C-alpha cells in the first residue's frame, strides 16, 4: 500500500509532505503508536510528526486515543492508521475528476469554436463573430475548429478515471 502511486498522491495531497508521511505511517503499522516514540524512531521533529498525524486525523486516515502516563501524568497520544478509509478518499477524488471532465465535455458540446491559423488561439463563436472572425491578438483570420476529437478524448479520459476510481476504491 505505501508503494502504490495513487496512495502516495493522496497522502501528498493530505499532508503536503514528501518524505515524512511514509515513515510515520510505517511506524504506526509496525506497532509504534505514540507521537513521541514515532518522532524518536524516525528522527523527525515531534512538531512535524504531530502536524502530519493531525492532517491524517482530519482526513479520517488516523485515529487517536489519549491517555496519561502513570509516572509523569503527561498526556500520551496513541495513533492508529485507518487504511480502509483510503478507498473512500480515492473514490471521491476520481468522482471529482470525472465531474470536472464532464463539465469540460458539456462546454465543448455546447459551443462552436474558431481558431487563429497563425497563433492557435481558440475562441467561442460569439467572440469570433464580434471580431468578424479576425483574431483579436494578431488580426489574422480564424477558421472553424471541429472539436469532436477533443470531445472524444475527454470522454476517453473520463472513462479511464471512472474505471481507475472503481478499481482503486475497492
* Among candidate residues 110, 114, 137, the one with its CA nearest the CA of residue 124: 114
Rounded CA-CA distance 143/128 in Å is 9
| 95/159 same-domain check | yes
Backbone angles phi, psi at 76, to 5 degrees: -115, 135
The pLDDT score that the predictor gives to residue 31 is: 85
Rounded CA-CA distance 123/115 in Å is 6
| 62/46 same-domain check | yes
- Give the C-alpha distances (Å, rounded to integers) separating 156 from 59, 102, 110, 159: 30, 11, 18, 5
pLDDT digits (tens, 9 = 90+) for 76-111: 889 998 888 888 888 888 888 899 999 999 999 999
Where a domain ends, among 29, 50, 81?
81
| 18/37 same-domain check | yes
| 54/109 same-domain check | no
**CATH assignment of the domain containing 43:** 1.10.10.10
pLDDT at residue 21 is higher than 60: yes
pLDDT digits (tens, 9 = 90+) for 133-165: 999 999 999 999 999 999 999 999 998 877 766
pTM of the model: 0.63
| 114/42 same-domain check | no
| 124/141 same-domain check | yes
* Among candidate residues 18, 10, 162, the one with its CA nearest the CA of residue 89: 10
Where a domain ends, among 58, 81, 104?
81
| 92/76 same-domain check | no
Q: Which residues form the domain of 38? A: 5-81
Where a domain ends, among 30, 47, 81?
81
Amino acid at each position: 500500500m505505501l508503494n502504490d502511486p495513487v496512495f502516495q498522491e493522496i497522502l501528498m495531497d493530505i499532508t503536503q509532505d514528501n518524505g515524512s508521511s511514509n515513515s510515520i505511517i510505517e511506524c504506526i503499522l509496525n506497532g509504534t503508536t505514540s507521537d513521541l516514540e514515532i518522532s524518536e524512531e524516525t528522527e523527525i521533529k515531534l512538531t512535524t510528526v504531530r502536524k502530519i498525524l493531525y492532517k491524517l486525523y482530519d482526513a479520517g486516515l488516523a485515529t487517536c486515543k489519549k491517555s496519561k502516563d502513570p509516572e509523569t501524568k503527561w498526556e500520551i497520544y496513541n495513533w492508529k492508521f485507518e487504511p480502509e478509509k483510503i478507498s473512500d478518499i480515492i473514490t471521491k477524488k476520481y468522482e471529482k475528476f470525472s465531474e470536472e471532465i464532464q463539465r469540460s465535455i458539456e462546454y465543448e458540446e455546447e459551443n462552436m469554436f474558431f481558431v487563429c491559423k497563425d497563433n492557435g488561439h481558440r475562441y467561442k463563436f460569439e467572440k469570433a463573430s464580434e471580431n468578424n472572425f479576425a483574431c483579436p491578438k494578431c488580426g489574422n483570420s480564424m477558421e472553424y475548429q471541429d472539436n469532436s476529437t477533443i470531445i472524444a478524448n475527454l470522454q476517453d479520459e473520463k472513462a479511464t478515471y471512472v474505471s481507475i476510481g472503481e478499481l482503486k476504491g475497492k
